[in-house]
Chain A
Amino acid sequence: MREENEALFVRAASGDLQAVAGIATQYGPDLFRLARCLLNSYEEARDAVADIIARLCADPGIIPSGLSRSWLMRVTYNHCVDLLRRRKTLQRLLPKIYDRTAVRPQPGPEQTALKTAEQVSVRQAVAGLPEQERAIVFLRYYQGLSYAEIAAVLGIPGPTVGTRLHRAREKLRKRLDHF
């Protein structure tokens, strides 16, 4: 399985478009959804996922033995946290440049997929959570990962996941009276 996955990345690196499409289909959706949840931007999430997969394709030697969804999720989480940190630094040090370059949240294609106003407000409330709590809520309730898997993705102890998830839910309840 590992050899197959690595071969897929090697083939993609050598310009095999079918392999690139295979990677995008196999891993893209999970990574994109996590990046979208963390970055709050459709375009930035798409760029981040393209960047991650392209780097893995360009340098398949960095893929660990036993490539797992958790490892890819962790790489995505780390990459998004780095992007958010850079965004915050730019905002603090060069606010004028940040204002000019910042991506404004615009109704993307996903807005049409949200069925009710309630779902929109829940999404907004989740977006207002700190990045780690946001990731925990997303990984648990959308990706369906267990607490142990979430702990492996975020690099935190297993029992902490339950506590932070509870704290995040409390915050969401406060923000959404009806939730």
Chain B
Amino acid sequence: MPCPSDIIWQCYLDGELPPAQYTDLESHLAQCLTCSTRVAVIREENEMLAASLAVPVPKDLAVFIERRLAGYSDRGIYWLRFFLPLLGLTSAIMALGMAWLPLLAQLRDVLSLVAGGNLLLRASLEAARLTLLLAGDAMRGSPVLPALTLLTISLLLMKLKLLKGGRVNV
């Protein structure tokens, strides 16, 4: 058996190899001085890393959490993290509708002529069409539909990100 590489020895020491490989590696280790020295060095490195990364935990962590918790309330969280951005986005769409709607509609028409069979471009144009539709509604003084659409999109995104590990919420 040729001498295994460092990554194999690292996995060997970390206990991450299939059980069948351990017998071969152990018998090789018993015969090969170079590898047994190498494994000893890697083991020493592991111990050094563990010792160096030791960090004492702050004794006042609970006090900090209590203080931080005092700054939270359900109402505050929803207002700051949800309705405020929603309000901002609705306002942005209304502003977009008022100022740029005719120009964007023309641009969309020109782009749809050159889009042809490009699926990605067509999908982008459909998204732009929906945005313009919402902006049109907002401009006509009916912000309910844009607000409801944004609410649904936000809720879906929050749910998706929560499933992935809660980046949005925490």
B-binding residues in A (CB < 8 A)? 12-13, 17, 20-21, 23-25, 28-29, 32-33, 36-37, 42, 46-47, 49-59, 62, 71, 74-75, 78-79, 82, 109-110, 113-115, 118-120, 122-123, 126, 137-138, 140-142, 146-147, 155, 162-163, 165-166, 169, 172, 179
Contacts and interface: CB of A to CB of B under 8 A. Distances in A.
Given A25-B62, A137-B49, 4 more contacts: A17-B62, A55-B72, A74-B166, A110-B54
B64 interface: yes
A113 B56 contact: yes
A52 B73 contact: no
B16 to A, nearest CB: 5
A171 to B, nearest CB: 13
A49 to B, nearest CB: 7
Contacts of B57: 28-29, 32-33
A122 B166 CA distance: 32
Interface residues of B, number: 40
Nearest to A161: B16
A143 to B, nearest CB: 9
Contacts of B49: 122, 126, 137, 141-142
A71 B62 CA distance: 21
Given A50-B67, A57-B69, A119 B10 contact: no
A17 B66 contact: yes
B107 interface: no
A123 B65 contact: no
B7 A162 contact: yes
Given A12-B69, A46-B61, A126-B52, A78 B170 contact: yes
B50 interface: yes
